[in-house]
Amino acid sequence: MPRHRYAFVDFLPGKIREPSGRIMLPLRIVNPHTGRTWPSYGLLDTGATTCLFPGALATYLGHNLKGDGVRSSVTSGIEQKKLPTFLHTFRMELLSPEGDRVVWRSGDVLINCVEHNLPILLGYREFLRHFTVCAIHYGIQEVELTW
C-alpha cells in the first residue's frame, strides 16, 4: 500500500516561506489530448466536492476555455458565490515529496475551470476519493496520503 508524507509548504511562484497551514501538494497536470504538461502545486481542499483549475492553465495546456462544444457548469465558491465553469479533460499526476517522480496518477477526468486566477484546488470527486487515508498531522506540519 503506497504511502507518502508531505510537509506543509506555503508556496508562491519563486518563493517558499514558512508553513502557514496550507497543504500544497506537488503535481504535474497533463492534457491527455495534446500531451502538454505543467508542473505545479495544488491546494488540498477537503471541503471541496470537485477540483477547480484556473482557466489560464487550461489554455496553456491547449484547451480552448470557452470553445465550441465545451460543456459549462456553475460552481459555488466562498460565501456560495456562483462562478461559471468550463469542463476540460486532464490527468493529474501526484509527485513524490521530493518532486522527482510520479507516485500516483488519475485517469482522464473532467475538471471545472474558471476564468479567475486561483490556485489549483484538489477536491473530493476527482482527487481525494482515490486515497484510503488522508491524515493531516498539524503538530508536525505534514499530510499523509495512502492508497
- Residue with the bigger pLDDT between 81 and 127: it is 127
- Span 24-53, average pLDDT: 96
- Residue with the bigger pLDDT between 9 and 101: it is 101
- Residue with the bigger pLDDT between 117 and 56: it is 56
pLDDT above 70 (res 46): yes
Q: Which residues contact 145 (CB under 8 A, 6 or more apart)?
A: 3, 4, 5, 6, 94, 104, 131, 133, 134
- Residue with the bigger pLDDT between 145 and 19: it is 145
pLDDT above 60 (res 13): no
* Model pTM score: 0.90
Q: Residue 111: what pLDDT?
A: 98
pLDDT above 70 (res 53): yes
DSSP annotation string for 104-119: EE--SEEEEEESS---
Determine phi and psi for 33, rounding to 5 degrees.
Answer: -80, -35
Q: Locate 130 and state its grid cell.
A: 482515490
Q: Answer positive or negative: Cα dihedral of 22, 65, 101, 49.
A: positive
Question: What confidence tens digit (pLDDT) does each residue in 77-122 have?
Answer: 767 788 899 999 999 999 999 999 999 999 999 999 999 889 999 9
